[in-house]
C-alpha cells in the first residue's frame, strides 16, 4: 500500500524556524507600559474601555500571527517541501525478464509462484523495455504457470536490464529492495552499466553455451573484369577456406562487368555483390538495399587473415546476432555496478514526489499582502476619525 507524506528535501534549512522568535520578541517588548501616576479629582470618574483600543489589540495579534506564518512558509520554501507518494518498503517487489520466463522450467515457475503467495505484500512485474511504466508491466502471480515461452528459439529481443532497473528505482524509496529474475544471456545486458541506488537481490539463471544450429547464408554475385583477375583468385581462395571451416550455405554467381548493364535486377536476386572492376556501378544498384563490397573495402588480398576480412563483410550481421543471443556473462559481470558515489548527490529518491514550491510562494505572497493591508488599517482609521 502506498504511503502519503510531506517531506523536506533540504531539511537543514529548517534551522530558519529560529527566526520565529524575532516577531514574538518584538511583540513582547512593544507591550512595555509606562509608570502609572495617581492624579486627584478623577478617582470617581468611571473608566470605559475604548473600542479603538480593543481593535488595536486584535490587530496586533493578527499581525503577529501573519508574520509568524510568513516566516514559516519561507522556511518551507527553502527546505523544499514536497508531497511524496512512496511505495511501502515492506512490499516484496519482484521483477522478471521475459527471457527468464521463456527459459525457466515449470518447477522454477512453481517455486517463484509459491514464494510470491507466501509473502503478504508481493508485486510482480515483467521487464520488457523502457517504453512502458511499471504499472503497465504488472503480472499476476497466477499467470506465471500459464506463461509459455518459445524455448526452441535462442533469439530474444535485446535489453539493457541495468538501465531498466535504474528507471524503476527512480519511482521507489532508496530502502526498497528489488528481487530480479533474469538470465546470463549477453543480449539482456546490451549497453553501459548504470549505478542503482536500491539494493538488488539477483536470481540469475545460467544458460548453457550453444553452437550455431543453422548455417551462415549468403547470395553472392562477384562482378569482375580483366584488370582484377588476380584479386578474383584471392577472393575464390578465401571463399573456399571459409567453406571448409564454417557452416556456410553460399549461392555464388560470377559475372563479367560488361554484363552488369544488361542485368540490373541483381539487387533483387542477391544479398551481396563483390565488385572488382573499373567501370562505375549503375545507379540502380548503388541506390538499392543490396550490400555492395568494392575492391577498396577488401584490402590485404595476400594476407593470411584475408578470409576473416571477407567473412566479416559477408556475415557480420548474422554473426553479431548469434553472438549476442548465445554469449554468456558471468554473475560477477552482471552484479558489479558502478560506485554509487558517482551518482549525482542532488538527485532525490522520494518516490512520486510532487513539489509544493509554487503553491508555497503563492501563499507567501497572499500573507504578505494581507499583513501590509492590516498594518496600514489602524493609521487609515485614525485619520478618518480625526477628519470627522
pLDDT band for position 159 (cuts 50, 70, 90): confident
pLDDT confidence of residue 328: 84
Query: Measured between alpha carbons, how far is 80 from 9 in angstroms, rounded to an integer?
Result: 6
Choose the weakest-confidence range: 57-61, 103-107, 375-379: 375-379
pLDDT > 60? residue 89: no
How far, rounded to the nearest angstrom, does the alpha carbon of residue 38 sit from its chain's CA centroid?
Answer: 80
pLDDT band for position 349 (cuts 50, 70, 90): very low
Q: 204-208, 306-310, 376-380 — which one is most confidently predicted on average? A: 204-208
- Please answer whether residues 232 and 283 qualify as being in contact, where contact means their C-beta atoms are separated by less than 8 angstroms: no
On whether the pTM is more than 0.85, the answer is: no
Pinpoint the alpha helices (H) of the chain. Answer: 21-29, 51-78, 98-103, 106-118, 143-146, 161-169, 229-245, 266-269, 283-286, 306-326, 331-335, 357-387
pLDDT confidence of residue 182: 92
Report which DSSP code applies to 11: G
- Please answer whether residues 183 and 207 qualify as being in contact, where contact means their C-beta atoms are separated by less than 8 angstroms: yes
Q: 87-101, 124-138, 159-173, 263-277 — which one is most confidently predicted on average? A: 159-173
Between the alpha carbon of residue 64 and those of residues 29, 74, 108, 165, the distances in Å are 13, 16, 68, 51
pLDDT band for position 80 (cuts 50, 70, 90): confident
Between the alpha carbon of residue 355 and those of residues 10, 81, 87, 346, the distances in Å are 13, 7, 17, 15
For 223-234, what is each residue's pLDDT tens digit?
Answer: 889 899 999 999
Query: Measured between alpha carbons, how far is 59 from 301 in angstroms, rounded to an integer?
Result: 98
**Contacts of 128-132 spanning 24+ positions with Cβ under 8 A:** 128/97, 128/98, 128/157, 128/159, 129/157, 129/159, 129/164, 130/163, 130/164, 130/167
pLDDT confidence of residue 22: 85
Q: At what angle do helices 21-29 and 51-78 cross, to 10 degrees?
A: 160
pLDDT band for position 151 (cuts 50, 70, 90): very low
pLDDT band for position 177 (cuts 50, 70, 90): confident
Q: What is the DSSP string of 37-72?
A: ---TT-TTSPP---HHHHHHHHHHHHHHHHHHHHHH
* Percent helix / strand / coil, the chain, rounded to 5: 45, 20, 35
- Which residue matches cell numbers 509606562? 34
pLDDT confidence of residue 50: 57
How far, rounded to the nearest angstrom, does the alpha carbon of residue 356 sit from its chain's CA centroid?
Answer: 24
pLDDT > 50? residue 152: no
For 257-266, what is each residue's pLDDT tens digit?
Answer: 877 665 555 5
Bigger pLDDT: 72 vs 81: 72
pLDDT > 60? residue 120: yes
Longest dimension (CA), the chain: 140
Query: Measured between alpha carbons, how far is 241 from 329 in angstroms, rounded to an integer?
Result: 31
Between the alpha carbon of residue 231 and those of residues 190, 218, 236, 259, 274, the distances in Å are 38, 20, 9, 19, 11
Choose the weakest-confidence range: 21-25, 40-44, 86-90, 153-157: 86-90
pLDDT band for position 343 (cuts 50, 70, 90): very low
pLDDT band for position 351 (cuts 50, 70, 90): very low
Tell me the percentage of the chain whose pLDDT exceeds 90: 5
Q: Bridge partners of 200?
A: 178
pLDDT > 80? residue 287: no
pLDDT confidence of residue 106: 84
Mean pLDDT of the chain: 76
Bigger pLDDT: 178 vs 47: 178
Tell me the percentage of the chain whose pLDDT exceeds 70: 69
pLDDT band for position 181 (cuts 50, 70, 90): very high
Amino acid at each position: 500500500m502506498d504511503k502519503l507524506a510531506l517531506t523536506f528535501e533540504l531539511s537543514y534549512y529548517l534551522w530558519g524556524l529560529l527566526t520565529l522568535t524575532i516577531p514574538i520578541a518584538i511583540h513582547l517588548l512593544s507591550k512595555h507600559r509606562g509608570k502609572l501616576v495617581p492624579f486627584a479629582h478623577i478617582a470617581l470618574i468611571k473608566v470605559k474601555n475604548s473600542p479603538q483600543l480593543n481593535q488595536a489589540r486584535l490587530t496586533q495579534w493578527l499581525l503577529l500571527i501573519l508574520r509568524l506564518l510568513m516566516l514559516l512558509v519561507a522556511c518551507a520554501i527553502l527546505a523544499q517541501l514536497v508531497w511524496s507518494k512512496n511505495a511501502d518498503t515492506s512490499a516484496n517487489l519482484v521483477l522478471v525478464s521475459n527471457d527468464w520466463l521463456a527459459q525457466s522450467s515449470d518447477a522454477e515457475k512453481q517455486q517463484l509462484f509459491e514464494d510470491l503467495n507466501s509473502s503478504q505484500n508481493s508485486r510482480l512485474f515483467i521487464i520488457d523495455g523502457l517504453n512502458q511504466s511499471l504499472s503497465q508491466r504488472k503480472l499476476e502471480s497466477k499467470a506465471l504457470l500459464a506463461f509459455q515461452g518459445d524455448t526452441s528459439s535462442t533469439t530474444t529481443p535485446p535489453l539493457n536490464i541495468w538501465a531498466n532497473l535504474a528507471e524503476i528505482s527512480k519511482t521507489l524509496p532508496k530502502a526498497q529492495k528489488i528481487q530480479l529474475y533474469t538470465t546470463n544471456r549477453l543480449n539482456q545486458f546490451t549497453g553501459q552499466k548504470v549505478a542503482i541506488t536500491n539494493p538488488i537481490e539477483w536470481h540469475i539463471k545460467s544458460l548453457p553455451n550453444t553452437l550455431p544450429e543453422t548455417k551462415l547464408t549468403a547470395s553472392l554475385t562477384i562482378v569482375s573484369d580483366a584488370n582484377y583477375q588476380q584479386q578474383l583468385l584471392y577472393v575464390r581462395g578465401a571463399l573456399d577456406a571459409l567453406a571448409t571451416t564454417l557452416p556456410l550455405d553460399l549461392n555464388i554467381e560470377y559475372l563479367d562487368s560488361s554484363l552488369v548493364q544488361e542485368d540490373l535486377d541483381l539487387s533483387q536476386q542477391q544479398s551481396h555483390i563483390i565488385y572488382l572492376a573499373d567501370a562505375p556501378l549503375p545507379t540502380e544498384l548503388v541506390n538499392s538495399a543490396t550490400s555492395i563490397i568494392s575492391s577498396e573495402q577488401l584490402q590485404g588480398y595476400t594476407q593470411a587473415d584475408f578470409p576473416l576480412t571477407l567473412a566479416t563483410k559477408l556475415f557480420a550481421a548474422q554473426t553479431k546476432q548469434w553472438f549476442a543471443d548465445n554469449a554468456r556473462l558471468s554473475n560477477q559481470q552482471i552484479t558489479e555496478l558502478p560506485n554509487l558515489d558517482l551518482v549525482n548527490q542532488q538527485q532525490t529518491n522520494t518516490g512520486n514526489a510532487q513539489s509544493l514550491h509554487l503553491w508555497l510562494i503563492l501563499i507567501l505572497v497572499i500573507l504578505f499582502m494581507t499583513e501590509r493591508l492590516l498594518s496600514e488599517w489602524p493609521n487609515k482609521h485614525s485619520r478618518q476619525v480625526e477628519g470627522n
